[in-house]
Structure 1
Amino acid sequence: MVPTLENSPLFGVRHLQALLLFFNIVVVYICRLNVSVAVVAMTNANTTNPDFPEYDWNEQHKSYILSSFYWGYVFTQFPGGYLSRHYGAKITILIATLGSAVCSLITPLCVRLGGWPIFCAIRLLQGLFQGVIFPAIHDHLAKWSPLHERNLLGALSLSGTDCGTVIALASSGLIASSSIGWPGISYVSASVCLVWCVFWLVFGADNPPSSKFISPQECKYIETSLERNDGFHQQKIPVPWRAIFTSVPFLAFLVGRCAEAWGFTTLQAQIPSYMNGVLHMEIKKNGLFSALPYLTMWISLYVYLAIANFLTKGNILSLTAMRKTINTVSLWIPALLLIGIGFLDSSQQAWAIALMTLNVGINGGSTIGCTLNTIDLAPNHAGILMGLSNTIVNIVPILSPLLVGVIVTDKHNRTQWQIIFAIAAVIFFLGNLVYIIWGTSETQPWNASDFESESDLEKAAHKQTGTEATVKKEGIKEKQEAVESGNVVERTRL
């Protein structure tokens, strides 16, 4: 009997893996984002606990510290997929999280010794470690997610980004004001990472057959759902690079993700600046306002998940149609709201906060609408696809602020900000349109484990066919020459 969802555990090891990935994203995001609060506490002790050292860093130094993480982060996205593929997601994620924890742990001591330059170096190193995590997570999800549970396990895991953001913004200020001061931010961040590493070491597994805790029924259910035979995980599947780079569905997915990243960067980084310059609101200094959009996004992701499961399990929409529908809602409605925000003035601050929160919340569906598409296209190469796409997508947050710097010469000029929001809205619209036309959730032929072999066989068959045609042609020519020769002999006899 083929195992089904009904006779597999209600809460199985596959759910445990997703839960571990969720908490992994939470702890590494705490390490990543707490620096924005830590830098304020380190340069203005009066706002937190004054019993700890204060540093005289200017705004340029702070910007170097805040951005240095991403200098390293963008360079290890692609290696993350490669490392996970060759050594397994378990060891890749473990080393990355452990390295991130060590970087946090040594930060207070190193900053006392080397000031802001050493802080930048530590953040860069931490970025290098964390850059491998998301490609490895996608590779891991692809091995553990049965086809009909892909949305559930994927959304559960990736919602850790919003949860981690909320916790980082809400807790860092409290820690800095406590008896352990701003160094406590680093120590707490390191501690939660190290605790997670212990659980991952015990319960994490690269694939269902290698887990010590999985039941035979659940293992067979997952492997059968993904059409994997015995010994599949021992195979070394070559990466079909040419097929990937010439795949229209993958390129459409890439355009969609870049468009989403551009719009979200505008939502995340520029709207608070607009509210400060045009609406005269200092939203960054209010922890509630800073965390509220991400809390909304976190909750909305589960709403999207319920809708996605209803649409697909009820056979109302195919997986492809569901992803495109949710992604359209997640990008096109925020595009309209962005334009609307640009027409608000200082007398409409409540509306501005409401629209910003609603905008970020609605945009949260792009995780289900587009991000999980790498697993749809090629489960066997999900880590590689995520590494490739994230390398390109993470360039967007570098480029979009540069455009703002060129266009917005006066932060109080609402017309200049309207141009920024209009550009983001157009990119939202066009990027999703490309995804609608050319995107798909159908598994691609180049996902097959023997795709390269099949290609070689096709070439060999083509070559053999060509050889046979040549031989046949030469045989016909020989017969023609023989006939002509015979005719000459007959004529000579006559």
Structure 2
Amino acid sequence: MTTEVNKGPMLGQRHVQTFLLFLSIVVNYIAKFNAGVAVVAMTNAESTNPNFPEYDWNEMERSFILSSFFWGYILTQFLGGWLCRHYGARLTMFVSTFGSAMLVLLVPFFVPWGGWQAYCAIRVCMGLFQGLMFPCVHAHLANWCPATERNRLGALANMGLDCGTLLAMYVSGQVAASSLGWPGIFYISCGVGVVWCIAWLIFGADTPRQSKLISKAELNYIESSIIDASSKQEEIKATREIPVPWKAILTSLPFWALFLVRCTQSWGYSTLQAEIPAYMNGVLLLEMKSNALFSALPYLASWIMAFVYLVLSDILLTRGILTITGIRKTYSSLASWLPAISLIGLSFLDSNQKTLAIVLMTVSVGINAGSTIGSCLNTIDLSPNHAGILMGIVNTGANVVPILTPLLVGIIVKNEHDRVEWQLVFIISAIVFFIGNLFYIIFGRMVNQPWNDADFLDHQKQPLSQEEGRAEKTKSKAREAHNAAVVGST
């Protein structure tokens, strides 16, 4: 008689949690990346709605606005992991999203008073709040995803990156050109954030056991899938918080391979993400309505490709054609090296080749969607127990990069209509893309590391305790010998 495998319900609370994570990324990315379109609208009112104020900001000031979000964002990544471990994802993500939504609402009121400096200050504060989010997303996925569904559910949640960026680009451009003008971008960004917060408070739960809506069958399925460790590890999890093995993590080559590839992919991606509206306006000479459409098109391709990558990975895994290691490294290579080639090609095009330029940008961003399955979910592969902490460290490094890329553009691009200056920007990004992925292919790993074990530090202490015990025995024998010698002499 064969044992029946518990596969859980086809649709359940784990899917609700995944969908909520997807939406959380969407609404935060709308608030995060609407600046790419908003800054163009605020400095070129004739291309959108001339009934709203226009600001005379130069390229460097615009670059400061685009990068300022990340000044705050990098400061709270690790804090997000810590808060999630102590207070749970439900509370931490609510605070993160609600704070960001309230701050984005301030832009139309404070920029007329404080100029680009006020806009920068608001985006710094938004970054501080949003920096709490992604460590919680990965920790929440580790708590809710059965091992066999981790790749699928993790990829579905992270599709919010593409959907959020798409909406930030396209909807923001349409709103800026409407009767709402550029201030409407910020009103809508705030509204969708608040709506998500309400839904999260109703349906969100830190763990399956804390959910009031989960069925018993699904609870058993998730817990039996995740709980595959020894009874001693489960005892540690139940009685105390698992300590973080900092030394083991920071000396782990697979961890640093993940760290590097996420940073280099962030470099290439953020160059396109933040600069597409300015490039299309300056070099391709597209007006805002067309700019919004074509700026959003690459992210529509990315969203579609994310589904393609997901379906293909499921087929390849279930049929045993590729292991998870093969999937991760293949997808990461596609997501890094093909966009690198496209960026180099893009750098040689001008306004007479608009169609080809749009195709190459669409291909670059679309193919880059493979980075989610390729490397982003690798934090959970390496250590489900410390996924939030790992994501906090990795995301800190990866988001230092978007601070640098707009500033580099501001240094290199003195004339936004000069194709040669943009050419240098794209070639640098292509080189960075290539090097980071090569390191990941060589040193990246897709299995739980020894330091993931709940009792890893206990095992590390045992040899030390044994050495201390032997030393104490040696000292005791020496004292006994000394005392015997003293007694004999008397």
Q: Same fold (TM over 0.5)?
A: yes
Which residue type is aligned with residue 329 of structure 1? Answer: L
Which residue type is aligned with residue 248 of structure 2? Answer: A
Where do 1:101-250 residues align within 5 Å? Answer: 101-111=101-111, 113-227=113-227, 229=234, 232=237, 235-250=240-255
2:84–2:139 CA contact under 8 A, matched in 1: yes
1:251-273: per-residue Cα shift (whole Å, max 9, x none)?
A: 11111112211222344356666
Which residue type is aligned with residue 252 of structure 2? Answer: S
Q: Output the CA distance in 2 between the equivalents of 1:45 and 1:421.
A: 28
Q: 1:317 to 1:283 in 2, by over 3 A?
A: farther
Q: 1:234 to 1:153 in 2, by over 3 A?
A: farther
Which residue type is aligned with residue 162 of structure 2? Answer: D
* Aligned position for 2:309: 304
Q: 1:412 to 1:286 in 2, by over 3 A?
A: closer
Give the alignment's Cα RMSD to 1 decimal.
3.1
1:397-450: per-residue Cα shift (whole Å, max 9, x none)?
A: 233455556666776776665554444333222211211111111101111112
2:396 to 387, 391, 394: 391
1:429 to 428, 434, 438: 434
* Aligned position for 1:54: 53
1:283–1:289 CA contact under 8 A, matched in 2: no
* Aligned position for 1:75: 75
Q: CA deviation at 1:24?
A: 0.9
* Aligned position for 2:460: 455
Q: Output the CA distance in 1 between the equivalents of 2:200 and 2:415.
A: 49
Q: 1:34 to 1:298 in 2, by over 3 A?
A: same
Q: CA deviation at 1:119?
A: 3.2
- Comparing 174-183 with 323-332, greater Cα deviation is found at 174-183
Q: Output the CA distance in 2 between the equivalents of 1:345 and 1:48.
A: 23
Q: 1:405 to 1:112 in 2, by over 3 A?
A: closer
> What are structure 1's unaligned runs of at least 5 residues?
482-494
Q: CA deviation at 1:90?
A: 0.6
Q: CA deviation at 1:101?
A: 1.7
* Aligned position for 1:492: none
Q: CA deviation at 1:86?
A: 1.1
Q: Output the CA distance in 2 between the equivalents of 1:198 and 1:416.
A: 46
Q: Output the CA distance in 2 between the equivalents of 1:275 and 1:191.
A: 29
Q: 1:267 to 1:180 in 2, by over 3 A?
A: closer
* Aligned position for 1:326: 331
Q: Percent same amino acid at aligned positions?
A: 51
2:268–2:432 CA contact under 8 A, matched in 1: yes
2:445 to 440, 462, 474: 440
- Comparing 64-73 with 323-332, greater Cα deviation is found at 64-73
Q: 1:443 to 1:347 in 2, by over 3 A?
A: same
Which residue type is aligned with residue 242 of structure 1? Answer: K
TM-score with structure 2 setting the length: 0.87
> What are structure 2's unaligned runs of at least 5 residues?
229-233, 486-490
2:163–2:303 CA contact under 8 A, matched in 1: yes
Which residue type is aligned with residue 357 of structure 2? Answer: A
Which residue type is aligned with residue 321 of structure 1? Answer: G
How many residue pairs match? The answer is: 476
* Aligned position for 2:231: none
Q: Output the CA distance in 1 between the equivalents of 2:351 and 2:194.
A: 46
Which residue type is aligned with residue 433 of structure 2? Answer: F
Which residue type is aligned with residue 105 of structure 1? Answer: L
Q: Output the CA distance in 2 between the equivalents of 1:113 and 1:415.
A: 37
Q: 1:214 to 1:149 in 2, by over 3 A?
A: same
For the residue of structure 2 that corresponds to 1:365, the secondary structure is helix
